[in-house]
Structure 1
Amino acid sequence: MEHPSNDDQCKSSVVVTYGNQVTDKVKERSRDQREPLPGEPKCVICNRYGEYICDETDDDICSLECKQTVLCRVANTQLPVNLPPPKRLTATDECFYVRDSGSQSGSVFLSSDQTELLRSRLEIHVKGDLVPPPILSFSSCNFPQKLLQNIEAAGFEMPTPVQMQAIPAALSGKSLLVSAETGSGKTASFLVPIVYLCANFRFEQFRDRKKPLAMVLTPTRELCIQVEEQAKLLGKGLPFKTALVVGGDAMARQLHRIQQGVELIVGTPGRLIDLLTKNDIQLDDVKIFALDEVDCMFQRGFRDQVMQIFRALSQPQVLLYSATVSQDIENMVSSMAKEVAVVSVGKPNRPNKVVKQLPIWVESKQKKQKLFDILMSKQHFMPPVVVYVGSRLGADLLSNAITVTVGVKALSIHGEKSMKRGEI
């Protein structure tokens, strides 16, 4: 079957559907659409009211005319790209048998001894009954080809240790408490199962139902943005849409996005509570509830808000991720799920090995001068650098002093700065 060319794609007719029903009120021309009200989404082409969402590009549009314009732009920019060959990892001194990828199940066969040896070498620690063995490749999970392509496009050629164990455990339906270092690939270890399970659910069961199927909470707006961007990359080309619910953006736009139909909601606890309190959002189809940086959520006092959101759900699978695991976190996960598998990678409750920590003893009056010396040292100064202070005024004064004294461009960030000012 031949695929239409870019020109044919632009000239073809455009039909907007919802489920199996073709809508009869879709605006044909942009001139037929009204101007947006404050907080409402805007069309990416003409800035009129973005009443619809383009399925192919995830953009807000006002009419079929603007949708066709968006598709033409995308078609004209999708040129072939010569990618470098994938990097090959060096072989280790241990070998494990992997069934041929052409087999029906595509699963990895490891004996119990091989499983324990692999976990020991990768510092993977598991507590719980019937936890699946680690995977050695993403293809062993029987993911659809499109998801495998998206995983590779996201930069994952081989699963990291936390992904090796957490992905098959999550796919088995188990609730998890995962402890892993920052930078270990833990975000993808819960997003990959979420994307697969949500897309598979839409394909096989209720394609016309657009209630959210999964929810991810993180403690900060910035982390939510990162998580949603990675989720969109992993779900590209699949029946998988996301909604970002954070402060700093218009709530009306976020509500509109959810009402248009999404599979995943990514948000902060406070903003999500605010949205759920003021609007009727049906969450009875949410099957996966993931919490990232749980220890940070506890430090920020989000525990009660998290539990309030959880109680609005109908017994979902729970995936909790934390750099450290305290007794309070264990108590919370026990209250959410009866049977929880605990997965930890590396030595628990230890600082990240890739971060070098060096204490320097300095007299209180000499701290600022010592900082200037470090910033002027070619040996020690490796930008970018983050300096934490105790107050907003201190941040403003120190950033100005660094710029004047050292000649290094410095910017202060705190709660009184605007969102755009804080995005570097």
Structure 2
Amino acid sequence: MNLKKINPNLQKALLENDFIVPNEMQEATWSSVKSGADCVVVSPPGSGKTTTLVMHVIQKLQAASGESTRALVFVQDKDQMLEVVNLFKTLGNYTDLRVYGVHEKGDTDFDKNHISLGLDVLVGPPAKLNALFSTAGFNMNTIKIFAVDDADVLFKNRQHAAISRLSDSVEKTQRLFFASAVTEKLELMADKIMVEPLFFEPDEDAS
């Protein structure tokens, strides 16, 4: 993909997996998200939102570093977690980023032990991530990127409280919402936890 200052390892993996030309949404959001701004990206189902989210996390983190989690990615359920983790493995093939996924029925003690060994990206449903961080005392101030996939669906399903609690525990981070539609709850959450968020919608620039 021909995107400005894209990480060469990410670009190589994208090309090998037939992501040749960025779509309109990816082109429109790339520079703003890469700059570190809080962003709400709204795009129709099947338009590559999850791929774009994973691209931005890889671009920002670049390589493994430290022992504490540096990116949280919120998803709906186990199936979506597995999809996102596999996508990280595919597009992060030429990096050494450590990615781990959790789900509601997973062994919490096992998950805590794995996280404590050191990783870069943690993927899972809001309630599970909230339970892990609220009981284990993990350092939240290393979180560089706080991304919510299908944010409109998660907020509709009353997952906003867990996400808000975790967000409040992070001193400074970049927050990203990816959604298929603009909803009242999406706008309320953006107003509540984001700093001067940029909104990207179909056929529109940031507003």
Contact residue 170 and residue 190 of structure 1 kept, 8 A: no
Counterpart of 1:252? Answer: 109
The equivalent of 1:94 in structure 2 is: none
Give unpaired runs (5+ residues) of structure 2.
none
Q: Which residue identity does 1:198 align to in structure 2? A: L
Larger radius of gyration: 1
Q: For 1:290, what is the secondary structure of its paired residue?
A: strand
Relative contact order higher in (CA < 8 Å, ≥ 6 apart): 2
Residue correspondence of structure 1 range 30-45 to structure 2 within 5 A: none
- SS of 1:178's partner is strand
> Aligned partners of 1:187, 1:167: CA distance in 2, in Å?
14
Residue of structure 1 aligned with 2:7, choices 144, 150, 160: 144
Tell me, in whole angstroms, the C-alpha distance in 1 between the residues paired with 2:81 and 2:131: 16
Aligned to 1:161: 24
Distance 2:17 2:114 in 1: 24
For 1:295, the aligned partner's letter is: D
Partner of 2:54: 191
Structure 1 pair 321–140 and aligned structure 2 pair: CA distance change class (3 A): closer
Q: Which runs of 4+ in 1 moved over 6 A?
A: none
The structure with the largest helix share of the pair is: 2
CA–CA distance in 2 between the matches of 1:166 and 1:319? 11
Instruction: Report whether the alignment pairs 1:227 with 2:90.
Output: no
Instruction: State the Cα distance separating 1:142 from its structure 2 match.
Output: 2.3
Within the alignment, does 1:319 sit opposite 2:176 as a pair?
A: yes
Per-residue CA distance 1:217-256 (angstroms, 9 max, x = gap): 0122211211111012111231311111212222233223
Residue 306 (structure 1) aligns with: 163
Question: 3-state DSSP class of the match of 1:216?
Answer: strand
Residues 1-400 of structure 1 mapped to structure 2, 5 A cutoff: 138-199=1-62, 207=65, 209-345=66-202
- How many residues are aligned here? 204
**Considering only aligned residues, what root-mean-square deviation do their CA atoms show, in Å?**
1.8
Contact 1:297 1:303 in 2 (8 A): yes
Whether the aligned pair in 1 keeps the contact of 2:156 and 2:185 (CA below 8 Å) is no
TM-score (norm 2): 0.91
Structure 1 position 346, deviation (Å): 5.1
Q: Please, which runs of 5 or more residues in structure 1 have no aligned partner? A: 1-137, 348-424
Determine the C-alpha separation between the residues in 2 that align with 1:149 and 1:327. 39
Q: State the 1:328 CA deviation.
A: 2.3
Shift of 1:321: 1.2
